[in-house]
Amino acid sequence: MGRNDLACHALGDNRPMSSTAPRHTALDALHRSLGATMTDFAGWDMPLRYGSERDEHNAVRTKAGLFDLSHMGEITVAGPQAAALLNFALVGNIASVGVGRARYTMICRADGGILDDLIVYRLTETEYMVVANASNAQVVLDALAERSAGFDAEVRDDRDAYALIAVQGPRSPGILKSLTDADLDGLKYYAGLPGTVAGVPALIARTGYTGEDGFELFVRPEHAVELWQALTKAGEGVGLVPCGLSCRDTLRLEAGMPLYGHELSTSLTPFDAGLGRVVKFEKEGDFVGREALAEAASRASENPPRVLVGLVAEGRRVPRAGYAVVAGGEVIGEVTSGAPSPTLGKPIAMAYVDAAHAAPGTPGVGVDIRGSHEPYEVVALPFYKRQK
């Protein structure tokens, strides 16, 4: 899911840990039986890695990886005015999404600040599934419920109704084809169709958060273990491995995909984040944040805000979120995400920098890593793009 939420506290996320006991997905016992290192993330106990995160990362880039994403937040919006409600509540033109298709979008505050980035699936003419990041699922649910006043539509918390399993990587279509008679060849990127996988009823979506081809399978929690085991068996001969949140973070970082709490926050509008394209002013009717976002769009065109860029290290030191980006002795920006890149073989980062230093190849840019200004090359995002 382009969007979505990941880097846990071990990866530089400094959000407070949940004070209550973490929740467990339907696959929890299975993860532990596989020797996973577990971590508390957004109130869930999730697998961080099973063995080497580098090996897991490389498997997704070259073969296939299997992920438990059941911590994501599914919210159903249904009723005669479901499309009108979502058009009002979100910044995208959701009414124009065809049945069986999906759209990346955002939900913003009245002041234009980003509450979350989302994927919305249109299941039928009058029913949608909104998928929110785990850390923001309650916030999104509350906002949609509040914004539903006056619309003939129901907002339903379906977080407990689904488990979500993703198979990602170049071998994923072949693995899935061996378990389903659904028309995967006809399933476009950002589309979903109901089907059965290994006999399990599923919504099969061609979406992901890795930069690779792949699928996300929404199933009932009681079917999760059976489906995971069937996918594992089908992938045995082609290098499929179970993958944790750690490699999901390096995969999305290489693919230049934003992470809420790092590249996206309530202090930024979509225009500040370089994602103004998701805001559809031309859609019918008013929507929450329209006025503030129109002003943000105007500001961005006249006086560009800091720009999200890629940084590639010349040395070996790894930048982390919050580190200052410097040039000529001045602070010109801030790192939002950083990690060693298994694909590039060097540390990389995403950072917001002043527009004057945002062009690829801008000389003299560095990152302040504990008082030492380490040289970095400014590059265009993404760092990695798969060959189609």
Domains along the sequence of the chain with CATH: 9-70+162-254 (3.30.1360.120), 306-388 (2.40.30.110)
Residues in the chain predicted with pLDDT less than 70, given as ranges, are 1-19
pLDDT score recorded for residue 351: 98
* Residues 6+ positions from 303 with CB-CB distance below 8 Å: none
Amino acid residing at 372: S
Q: Give the pLDDT score at 263.
A: 98
232-267: b (≥16 Cβ within 10 Å) or e:
bebbeeebbbbbbbbbbbbbbbbbbbbbbbbbbeee
**pLDDT computed for residue 19 by the predictor:** 54
Task: Output the pLDDT for position 304.
Answer: 81
Contact 314, 374 (CB under 8 A): yes
Tell me the residue type at 318.
Answer: V
Helix runs in 257-345, H state only: 290-302
- Residues facing 74 on adjacent strands: 131
Q: How far apart are CA 335 and CA 241, in angstroms?
A: 31
Q: Which residues contact 286 (CB under 8 A, 6 or more apart)?
A: 88
Q: Which helix (H) or strand (E) holds 232?
A: helix 224-234
